[in-house]
Structure 1
Amino acid sequence: MKIYVNFNYEIIALDSPPEKYEHEIEVEQTRSELFGDLCDACICGYRYEPAYEMLFNDDGSNARDDITGEFLYKMDSEGNRIQTGWQLYPFMDFNVLMAIQRQYEESQRQIDDLTCVMADLIGGVYNA
């Protein structure tokens, strides 16, 4: 599966490239393995971004930049952060995402019900 993200690593599409994206990330997991049965709108409330090896102080706390307060990371010989893997997490409020998911599931139930009604009508007309 391919994950397409913007500059902030916010997911904007899966498998089919959108018009504009910053990074294309190929993963071994399937959609259902990563996201379960979440709808596309909920998935777009997640980030999929690199995780880096952090620096720690002697007391075990995370090392931070003295000026900006941002976390510091271990660097390789070329001055790049050392990537340890990937992290997937919601950047939108989880309760909002679950409300979107519930609305999606309800609309899918309504579509299914309407499809059954239409099939009955078409079947009834066909058999008449």
Structure 2
Amino acid sequence: MKIYTNFTHDILALDNAPEHYEHEIEVDRTREEMFGDLCDACICGYRYEPNYELLFNEDGSISRDEETGELRYKTDANGNRIHTGWQCYPFMDYQVLMAIQRQYEASQQQIDDLTCVMADVIGGVYNA
């Protein structure tokens, strides 16, 4: 599966490239393995970003830049951050995401109901 994200690693789409994206990440897991039955709108409330090895102070606390307060990371011989993997997490409130999912499921049920009614009507006309 491919995950497409913007510059802050917010998920924009899965498998089908959106018009504008910053990163394309190929993953070994399937949509169902990563997100279960979440709808696309809920998945877009998640962030998929790289993890880097943190730098720690001598006292064991996490090292931060004194001016900006941003986390500091270990670097390799070339000065690049040491990549340790990927993390996927919701950046939107979980309750909001679940409300979106419930609305999606309700609309899917309405679509299923209408499809059955249409099939009955078309079948009734066809059999007449």
> TM-score per shorter chain, which class?
over 0.9
Return the alpha-carbon distance in structure 1 between the equivalents of residues 104 and 110 of structure 2. 10
Deviation, 1:85, is 0.1
Residue type at the aligned position of 2:118: M
Q: So what's the TM-score if we normalise by structure 2?
A: 0.96
Deviation, 1:59, is 2.7
After superposition, residues 93-104 of structure 1 pair within 5 angstroms as 93-104=93-104
In structure 1, list runs of 5 or more residues that go unmatched: none
Tell whether 2:57 aligns with 1:18.
no
Tell whether 2:32 aligns with 1:32.
yes
Deviation, 1:58, is 2.6
Deviation, 1:94, is 1.0
Deviation, 1:88, is 0.3
Return the alpha-carbon distance in structure 1 between the equivalents of residues 12 and 78 of structure 2. 31
Instruction: Report the equivalent of 1:71.
Output: 71
Aligned residue for 1:96, secondary structure, equals: helix
After superposition, residues 1-128 of structure 1 pair within 5 angstroms as 1-128=1-128
Q: So what's the TM-score if we normalise by structure 1?
A: 0.96
More displaced stretch, 108-117 vs 65-74: 65-74
Return the alpha-carbon distance in structure 1 between the equivalents of residues 63 and 8 of structure 2. 23
In structure 2, list runs of 5 or more residues that go unmatched: none
Return the alpha-carbon distance in structure 2 between the equivalents of residues 5 and 71 of structure 1. 22
Return the alpha-carbon distance in structure 2 between the equivalents of residues 10 and 75 of structure 1. 25
Deviation, 1:60, is 2.2
Q: Over residues 23-72 of structure 1, what are the superposed CA-to-partner deviations in whole Å (9 max), with x where a residue is unaligned?
A: 10000000000111011111111110000000112332211111111111
Q: Give the % identical residues.
A: 76
